[in-house]
Structure 1
């Protein structure tokens, strides 16, 4: 009898017992959920702290930056000894300290250039704490393509906003962008799609208090999405810290929005990107669709090469648009000492249309990330191939077979 009472007490008073007092709460659902966290700065730290305290066990953290001393005043997971380390790595260590049984994968990567759509398909939920529109726009389009919800947060000073975007339920993030937003986005690129000097990131003035407020709302919305409860879908929760006023704003769908494109009929391929050529992938797509005329569309545009119109020199790059600096476009072969060197022409690849010089190139030789999706399209049908053979290399301990298809 004593043993039974002891066991009952232990079950009732485990780490998450107070959560289970909430009638609709499902701790098993939380523990099995896979969460992609993009951004590990001030907001990202608070997001991750909350996820760890709630018991989320399967986490991928994506962040490109390294820790600076100024981050320590706004980032609960970072320590002075972490300065100079990748934010993703330090955040993963901090998460593990809070919840040792969790599996946390840090990726020191640019989400727009280095993360394949398979990573988004792996996740059940996506949550972001970023400071730029360009990355948000990419996340929005990727999440919509693979049918995943994502929760966005933004902070400045002591003000902030949290919002929820559900797949196939407009309005989406892109629907919220106005003329000023697009003007800022367009300033990042030159007319030939080379990147102007990047604006410094991580310089938005914020406090740890506003990070706590907005990240708390974001994670609460994530829990509600997971449990099928009403959320801020297509809406934004706006918090004004000076007077502590808040309100919910309703966004409007843009019928011409470019983000509303879903990938249907996703097929997992067991090979890795190094084992399949463009010609082979096209052949498979033609057999699958039962047609002889197809094209392959990439998940993002690629700078194939730079050509100098003056001297004819060609420089093969195979790099995602947005990763090549404007100065790289200057031809130094024919005018190495010129104050105004010749600008080279950018040859862009949006896909493969049977070009002989590309046929034998394997998928990992295109400048696209591993674990990505390729669309083989005919005039009236398409098939989307997820290169699932890359999953183990990308996801490591979080990989599971046959679970990525939408």
Structure 2
């Protein structure tokens, strides 16, 4: 039965069905493009697919999502997509992860993939996925769409250190758009509504096909030495292919040293740096900003309340004091600490983040929280 299923593939002299069967690919985002990527990879016979999405299906998804039906409205995108993929080919081992990939993916999981295909619709998620793939040297395929254009980018991190990353050519306008989500203190704005990019099944299906094709090339062993971008006009068919140059000023990849090593430790600060040689004034950076303390300058002008929690757990309403009702709360948020500061002030706390980055000479040590 399996041989018959892939019989037409076997007639293609360059088609490596056994390699494809053994491949493992992560798909982050199960909306319009994610549907197409998952469908294509399943029909190619990719043996292992992991699908990530925190969202639920809405009625407007149905015009662009081949795997969703009216009866699926309100259900998890990743879980429904996984069940439909299983129907397409029962030989595929498919796992659904409902939630934020940042919380669900360990670095070991990221490293286990032949590649990760990014099908999300916001810059912040792309940047975070780019970080994980940079650290683990995992090939990343990024997709982007609008109502007319398709963009597919391949970042072959597995090929070496001198490869451009997603942030190397990211314009300032992208960071400005991300900042719109937050107050000046990097607290989420309660009233912010994310602008959605309209598209059609034509654009998303073309993008999904090209992304799956790039993944197929990687499985075949065709890993380029430089990052590339394909831009396609879905109306005219006109396309351009360009190399993406690495930027020495990139805030993404330039922050890492020539080599990256990883360790996993308890998040307890007092035990996180055992066995690592360091000076007390050495600095570490956390993967996410940490809300250190809050103080109402009306009610408690001399007292700081230590919080030391991930800033994503809070929003801009914390600037309003619960006692006096005034917008009078000073909030201290940081993502960079000296090791002496951590030992002296926060040794009894745990790191409320995914990992910390410690740079020793030109080597980056990534300390992942267990």
User: CA separation in 2, counterparts of 1:230 and 1:383?
Assistant: 26
Residues in 1 aligned to 2:9 and 2:103: alpha-carbon distance in whole angstroms: 38
| Residue ranges of structure 2 left out of the alignment (5+ in a row) | none
How many pairs are equivalent?
A: 359
Q: 1:199 to 1:65 in 2, by over 3 A?
A: farther
Query: Separation in 1 of the partners of 2:23 and 2:257?
Result: 22
Query: RMSD over aligned Cα, in angstroms?
Result: 2.9
Aligned counterparts, 1:227-266, within 5 A: 227-229=220-222, 233-260=226-253, 261=256, 264=259, 266=261
**Cα distance, 1:34–1:62 mapped onto 2, change above 3 Å:** same
Which TM-score applies when normalising by structure 1?
Answer: 0.78
Distance 1:44 1:375, change over 3 A: same
Q: Which residue among 127, 132, 146 is the counterpart of 2:122?
A: 132
Structure 1 residues not aligned, in runs of 5+: 1-9, 391-406
Identify the structure with the greater strand proportion: 2
Q: For residues 172 and 162 of structure 1, what CA distance do their matches in structure 2 show?
A: 14
Does structure 1 retain, via aligned residues, the 8 Å contact 2:202–2:234? Answer: no
Is 1:77 matched up with 2:62?
A: no
Which residue of 174, 177, 184 corresponds with 2:177? 184
Distance in 2, matches of 1:250 and 1:231, equals 11
Give the CA deviation at 1:201.
4.7
8 Å contact 1:306–1:317 — kept in the other structure?
no
- 2:272 maps to what in 1? 281
Q: Hey, what does 1:397 align to over in structure 2? A: none
Query: CA 1:246/1:311 → structure 2, altered by over 3 Å: closer, same or farther?
Result: same
Residues 234-254 of structure 1 deviation map (CA, whole Å, 9 limit, x = unaligned): 222112123232222333332
CA deviation string 1:371-390 (max 9, x = no partner): xx444555676644456xx5
Q: Which contiguous aligned blocks of 4+ residues in structure 1 show a shift greater than 6 angstroms?
A: none
Equivalences for 1:1-400 in 2 at 5 Å?
Answer: 13-112=3-102, 115-167=105-157, 168-197=161-190, 199-201=192-194, 203-229=196-222, 233-260=226-253, 261=256, 264=259, 266-269=261-264, 273=266, 277-286=268-277, 293=280, 297-312=285-300, 314=305, 316=307, 318-319=309-310, 321-335=311-325, 338=326, 341-350=327-336, 353=339, 354-362=342-350, 366-369=351-354, 373-378=355-360, 383-386=365-368
> How far is the alpha carbon of 1:209 from its aligned partner?
1.7
- TM superposition shift of 1:52: 1.0
Query: Is contact 2:257–2:359 with CA below 8 Å preserved after alignment?
Result: no
Separation (CA, whole Å) in 1 of partners of 2:299 and 2:108? 41
Deviations 1:185-222 (A, max 9, x none): 33233221112247545832111121110110001001
Contact in 2 for aligned 1:307/1:315 (Cα 8 Å): no
Deviates more, 1:144-153 or 1:108-117: 108-117
For each residue in 1:346-370, what CA deviation from the matched residue of structure 2 results, as whole angstroms up to 9, or x when unmatched? 23244572334532434xxx3324x
Residue pair 2:206, 2:234 contacting (<8 A) in 1 also: no
